[in-house]
Amino acid sequence: MLNFQTKIEKTAKSINEAKELILTEFGLSEDDIDIQVIDEGTKGFLGLGSKDAVVTGQVKDVTSYKAKLFLNKIFSDMNLKVDISTKLEDDNLLIDLSGKNMGIIIGKRGDTLDSLQYLTSLVVNRNNDNYVKVTINTENYREKRYDALVALSQRLASKVAKSGKKYTLEPMNPYERRIIHSCLQDHTDVTTFSIGEDPYRKVVIAPKNPVKPSYHKKPAYYNSGLNAIHEKKHSDFESYARSHSEENISEDESDL
């Protein structure tokens, strides 16, 4: 269980010593902590009557602190050394990760990165009055994925418009589905909609004017060919019936 304590009090022989204890426990720099001296303490005389200093420290950016604390625990359990930088802009927390083997953090099509982002959002927004949107990125993956989805949507839109047949994409998260919808919302020839339930919800790209199946009238030679076959069968049957009848008559005459 993580301890999200954001305010602590330390007692030491000097103010500086107390401050160092606070910074070490938080794992933050002095710029990230609001330091207040409760009691400066006294040295006393020859060690007599001395009094320790009392100092409190309050985390300034609680949202970023909780996110860093949570992610550091995750990466520690994964035996990964990852540098975490955060930036809080209004109600948006931007987190950038850097280090070796970031492919492990990204995962297949960003699945691991998305999971980390979702879990961090739960941690950050727990007991929060205002919702904070969390975005985790590494090695510009989000930008690269965005460009790839835009190119994919445009390519598939051209294919659908040309063929007149709809195309269903692989399951995507809500963020990526919005990219597809946004990219094609003003397209003249196709429209988009989603089907299914998360996490298997998919985007469908469909033509605005789908091609209707055509039922072509069979050519004249097709019907004439059928008639010829029918006439031949009829003629063969008549020939067979006539010959069979003559054989029966011959047999009857031989009995007389």
Structure-token pair, residue 132: 């904070």
5 band by pLDDT with thresholds 50, 70 and 90: confident
Of all residues in the chain, the percent with pLDDT exceeding 70 is 80
Average pLDDT over the chain, rounded to an integer: 85
Give the integer Cα–Cα distance in Å for 16 and 211: 78
Contact 97, 40 (CB under 8 A): no
Residue 22 in this model has a pLDDT that exceeds 70? yes
Structure-token pair, residue 249: 């008559």
Start-end of H helices in the chain? 15-26, 62-77, 102-106, 111-125, 141-163, 174-184, 220-255
210 prior amide bond cis, ω within 30:
no
250 band by pLDDT with thresholds 50, 70 and 90: very low
Give the integer Cα–Cα distance in Å for 76 and 152: 37
Residue 60 in this model has a pLDDT that exceeds 60? yes
Q: Checking DSSP bridges between strand 202-207 and strand 190-195, what pairing results, if any?
A: antiparallel
230 band by pLDDT with thresholds 50, 70 and 90: low
249 band by pLDDT with thresholds 50, 70 and 90: very low
Specify the range with the lowest mean pLDDT, choosing from 60-64, 79-83, 202-206, 221-225: 221-225
Give the integer Cα–Cα distance in Å for 171 and 113: 16
Question: Which residues lie below 8 Å from residue 8, measured CB to CB, with a gap of 6+?
Answer: 22, 25, 26, 56, 57
Which residue in 100, 104, 92, 103 sits closest to 144, CA to CA? 103
Residue 256 in this model has a pLDDT that exceeds 50? no
255 band by pLDDT with thresholds 50, 70 and 90: very low
- Side by side, which strands form the sheet with 190-195? 167-168, 202-207, 190-195
Higher pLDDT pick, 211 / 33: 33
Which residue in 59, 48, 45, 57 sits closest to 18, CA to CA? 57
